[in-house]
Amino acid sequence: MLEKQLLMIPGPTPVPPKVLRELSTPMINHRGVEFSNLMQEILVNLKKVFKTENDIIIYPASGTGAMEASIVNTLSPSDKVLAVSIGAFGDRYAKIASDFGAEVIKCDFEWGEAADVNKIEEILKKEKDIKAVLITHNETSTGVTNPLKEICKIVKKYDVLLLVDAISSLGAIELETDNWQIDCVVAGSQKALMLPPGISFVSISKKAWDYHKNAKMPRHYFDWSSYRKWMEKNQTPYTPALPQLFGLKTSLKILLDEIGLENNFKKHRILRDMLREGVKAIGLELLAKDEFASPSVTAIKTPAGIDVKNLRSIMRVKYNVITAGGQGKLEDKIFRIGHLGFVDKMDIIVTLSALEMSLLEVGYKLEKGASLKKAIEVLKNENI
Ligand SMILES: *Cc1c(COP(=O)(O)O)cnc(C)c1O
């Protein structure tokens, strides 16, 4: 494999060299003071990223593991839950709940659209005894960011637990766990947090801990009670993923001290706008409307008459730019470009160049350089 590859997929994302070096730190005793100190420092900074005072558990599991943990630790079989879905990952959250025996009421929106808060409220009003609401913050399969703040405001008028999948948003898109009263925020390492895949996170509000007391869904490895016992010592019940935690310590410092969280949100918005305006300028259509367009991933509709697998293959083989395909029912209808984490303005310029050259090769008509011209205009003098 070529070493110089531009990984423009929505996870795993590129990892900064400084973080990569940390991954090869020699192992330490996970029952020693050195580990407790590491964990303590990580948790202080992680809470700043989550904007929370709540407990946070770090699992040696991909994001889906933490999604499962948020459900099995708070609910019992036959509990009624409302699962709001705008794409493949919303469907996954619903499926986990139903696999563990919850009675799932699904609130589906068309793929490419955001959730309509009025429709969510209608269901909350009508259905009695809904215990929890599950929702995706940023739907990676469609490139749509839900208006989470407004949704939280409505959902929190009802006595329900609010579980949010923020795997492709935390760190890249505004999210305020405590101010928006989110009971569990789920995140993963390989998206905006600039780490390799392998660890995931869940924050736990006081209300979520209360639910936990009566939650009867089967669980063992993910059980919060086991974690709670070790929390005071800043340790974990089972062997933690040490290399990931060495890396996390550094990636959090980069995010908070070198880049700054607010600057990072701004960077992601500008990268999104450069890419979206660029592809529009060469006549391509986007799946998501501007209003709900995700700052971390963009879904582009396949132009008529073009074989998208071939297009992506030319981008990869000839220009070393890796993009993602569509998922589920959007396979072949769209392709996706991730622009989250350790990705910058020049990566967008290179991606647009590769896209133009590959499109020309498959016979698509465009004015050479038009997408770049537009992207440069969007960038203007923004200091990102
Ligand atoms: C990537 C992603 C997941 C799944 O995470 P894994 O680490 O692959 O288990 C879930 N939800 C969203 C929104 C994602 O982007």
The pLDDT confidence band at residue 319, using thresholds 50, 70 and 90, is: very high
Residue 2 pLDDT: 58
pLDDT of 231 above 90 = yes
Mutate to test the pocket of ligand 1, among 140, 146, 175, 201 (most ligand atoms within 8 A of CB): 140
Ligand 1 within 6 A of CB of 188: yes
**Residues 278-287: what's their mean pLDDT?**
98
> What is the position in ligand 1's atom list of the atom closest to the CA of 136?
13
Q: How far apart are CA 346 and CA 51, in angstroms?
A: 30
CA of 47 to the centre of ligand 1 (A): 20
| C-beta 140 within 6 A of ligand 1 | yes
Round the CA-based radius of gyration of the chain to a whole number and report it: 21
**Cβ distance 337 to 351 under 8 Å?**
yes
How far, in Å, is the centroid of ligand 1 from the Cα of 63?
5
Q: Mean of the pLDDT values across residues 256-262?
A: 98
Q: What's the 367 CA to ligand 1 centre distance in angstroms?
A: 36
pLDDT tens by residue, 141-166: 999 999 999 999 999 999 999 999 99
CA 220 to chain centre: 25
Ligand 1 site, residue 169, Cβ cutoff 6 A: no
Q: Cα–Cα distance between 82 and 77 in angstroms, integer?
A: 14
Cα separation values, 105 from 141, 183, 186, 211, Å: 21, 19, 21, 19
136 lines ligand 1 (CB under 6 A): yes
Interval between CA 15 and ligand 1 midpoint (Å): 17
pLDDT at 186: 99
Task: Tell how far the Cα of 223 is from the centroid of ligand 1, in angstroms.
Answer: 20
DSSP bridge partners of 184: 163
Instruction: Judge if the beta carbon of residue 165 lies within 6 A of ligand 1.
Output: yes
Q: Is the pLDDT of residue 258 over 70?
A: yes
Q: What is the pLDDT of residue 366?
A: 98
Give the residue, out of 9, 59, 111, 165, with the most ligand 1 atoms within 8 A of its beta carbon, to mutate for a pocket test. Answer: 165
Could you give the percent of the chain with pLDDT greater than 70?
99
Predicted pLDDT at 56: 98
Atom of ligand 1 nearest to the CA of 297: 15
Tell whether the model's pLDDT for residue 359 goes beyond 80. Answer: yes
Helices then strands, counting H and E runs in the chain, come out as 13, 14
Return the beta strands (E) in 137-254 as ranges: 138-139, 144-145, 161-165, 184-188, 200-204
- Return the pLDDT at 326: 98
* Residue whose tokens read 């910058």: 344
CB distance 223 to 209 below 8 Å? no
Within a 10 A sphere around the Cβ of 129, how many other Cβ atoms? 9
Residues 13-35: b if buried by 16+ CB within 10 A, e if exposed: bbbbeebeebbeeeeeebeeeeb
Mean pLDDT within 29-44: 98
pLDDT greater at residue 17 or residue 3: 17
Which 3 state secondary structure label does DSSP give 127? coil
- Give this prediction's pTM: 0.98
- Residue 229 confidence (pLDDT): 96
Residue nearest to atom 15 of ligand 1 (CA): 168
Q: What is the mean pLDDT of residues 111-119?
A: 98
Q: For ligand 1, what atom is nearest to the CA of residue 65?
A: 9
Kindly tell me the burial class for residue 159, based on how many C-beta atoms sit within 10 Å of its own C-beta (0-12, 13-18, 19 or more). Answer: exposed
Q: What's the average model confidence in pLDDT over 191-204?
A: 98
What integer is the mean pLDDT of 296-320?
Answer: 98
Give distance in angstroms: CA of 383 to centre of ligand 1.
30
Beta strands in 264-343 (DSSP E): 297-301, 321-322, 324-325, 334-338
The pLDDT of residue 268 = 98
Question: Could you tell me the pLDDT band of residue 383, with boundaries at 50, 70 and 90?
Answer: confident
Q: What is the mean pLDDT of residues 181-210?
A: 98
CA–chain centroid gap for 280, Å, is 25
Of 59, 71, 89, which is best to mutate to test ligand 1, by the most ligand atoms within 8 angstroms of its C-beta?
89
What pLDDT is attached to residue 1? Answer: 57
